[in-house]
């Protein structure tokens, strides 16, 4: 297990979901010998109406997760890789040398939590397809994670997210024509061209900086970024991130 964990929102079976995943494993997975994907599905007692976890149940769910982690912390044959919360359930995912043994360890950890119903299961997964194809974020979902990290840095610096300010975004394109097509689409969405450069390297050397004025709360910045991210994809471009000033007010 690495120190690089993060979460992102998505839809699972057309329902709101939230995945927490160990991003740091992507460089070493699949790990030899850990070929059996083992899961524990916990049926939450007080989920929100949308099926996600509630603040009311937060502390108890943390206790459950801590107990499950403690049950395998000394084992080299079981590795916790992530969890999904949706539909009133929280699913914990592990890779193990023996799924049967892992199920036993996890079930034993649930003994103190008599108020919860749960189930476990195992499937062979030599290629770690559950990790790569379900838990690990795609590029669009990874952008949610990057946005969250920038927002966390701003908050640590004392930023007041409700204050509107200029935000700039960098996007790169394989040709000037693709960039021009993007500009037409993005300006129709309220963004302005701030800067262009034609001397980059690699497959997308035509750079573009767009700007707009907005608050930088989680909803506002994600909505803006995803508009540009999706438009960049339509024009064969690559969205590369955003930056802004720290605004603390008076």
CA-wise closest residue to 187 among 222, 240, 231 = 231
**Parallel, antiparallel or unpaired: strands 5-12 and 192-197:** unpaired
Q: Are 86 and 17 in contact (CB under 8 A)?
A: yes
In this prediction, residues 176-196 reach a mean pLDDT of 97
Average pLDDT of the residues in 209-218: 96
* pLDDT score of 178 more than 70: yes
DSSP structure class, residue 174 = S
pLDDT tens track for 72-129: 988 889 999 999 999 999 999 999 999 999 999 999 999 999 999 999 999 999 999 9
Residue pointed to by tokens 């044959």: 77
Query: Topology of domain 5-135, per CATH?
Result: Alpha-Beta Plaits (3.30.70)
What is the pLDDT, as a whole number, of residue 74? Answer: 84
139-244: CATH architecture: 2-Layer Sandwich (3.30)
Question: How much is the mean pLDDT over the chain?
Answer: 95
Q: Distances in Å between the alpha carbon of 116 and those of 46, 63, 83, 107?
A: 11, 12, 17, 12
Q: What percent of the chain has pLDDT over 90?
A: 93
What percent of the chain clears pLDDT 70, i.e. is strictly above it?
99
pTM: 0.89
Which H or E run contains 136?
none
Residue ranges of domains in the chain: 5-135, 139-244
- Establish whether domains 5-135 and 139-244 are of one fold: yes
Q: Residue 167: CB partners within 8 Å, gap ≥ 6?
A: 211, 212, 213, 214, 216, 221, 224, 242, 243, 244
Q: Confirm if 98 and 77 have CB atoms less than 8 A apart.
A: yes
Q: Place 250 in a pLDDT band, splitting at 50, 70 and 90.
A: low
Residue 191: pLDDT band with limits 50, 70, 90? very high
Q: Where are the beta strands (DSSP E) in the chain?
A: 5-12, 15-22, 36-43, 78-86, 89-96, 117-124, 165-173, 192-197, 206-214, 238-244
Q: Specify the pLDDT at position 75.
A: 85
Q: How far apart are CA 114 and CA 23, in angstroms?
A: 32
What does the longest C-alpha to C-alpha distance in the chain come to? 63
- Give the confidence band of 131 by pLDDT, cuts at 50, 70, 90: very high
pLDDT-based confidence at 2, cuts 50/70/90? confident
Neighbours of 220 (CB within 10 A): 15
Q: CA–CA separation, 37 vs 117, rounded Å?
A: 21
Kindly tell me if the per-residue pLDDT of 30 is higher than 80.
Answer: yes
């Amino acid at each position: 297990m690495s120190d690089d964990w993060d979460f992102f929102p998505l839809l699972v079976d057309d329902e709101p979901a939230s995945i927490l995943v160990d991003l740091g494993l992507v460089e070493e997975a699949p790990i030899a010998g850990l070929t059996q994907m083992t899961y524990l599905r916990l049926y939450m007692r007080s989920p929100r109406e949308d099926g996600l976890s509630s603040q009311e149940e937060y502390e108890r769910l943390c206790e459950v997760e801590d107990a499950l982690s403690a049950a395998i912390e000394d084992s080299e044959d079981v590795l916790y890789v992530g969890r999904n919360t949706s539909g009133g359930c929280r699913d914990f995912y592990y890779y193990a040398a023996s799924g049967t043994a892992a199920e036993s360890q996890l079930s034993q950890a649930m003994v103190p939590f008599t108020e919860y119903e749960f189930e476990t299961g195992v499937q062979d997964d030599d290629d770690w397809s559950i990790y790569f194809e379900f838990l690990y974020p795609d590029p669009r979902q990874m952008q949610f994670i990057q946005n969250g990290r920038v927002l966390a840095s701003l908050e640590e610096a004392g930023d007041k997210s409700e204050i509107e300010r200029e935000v700039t975004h960098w996007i790169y394109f394989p040709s000037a024509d693709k960039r021009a097509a993007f500009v037409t689409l993005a300006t129709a969405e309220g963004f302005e061209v701030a800067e262009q450069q034609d001397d980059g390297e690699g497959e997308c050397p035509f750079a573009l900086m767009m700007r707009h004025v907005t608050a930088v709360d989680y909803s506002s910045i994600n909505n803006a970024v995803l508009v540009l991210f999706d438009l960049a994809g339509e024009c064969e471009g690559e969205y590369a991130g955003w930056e802004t000033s720290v605004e603390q007010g008076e």
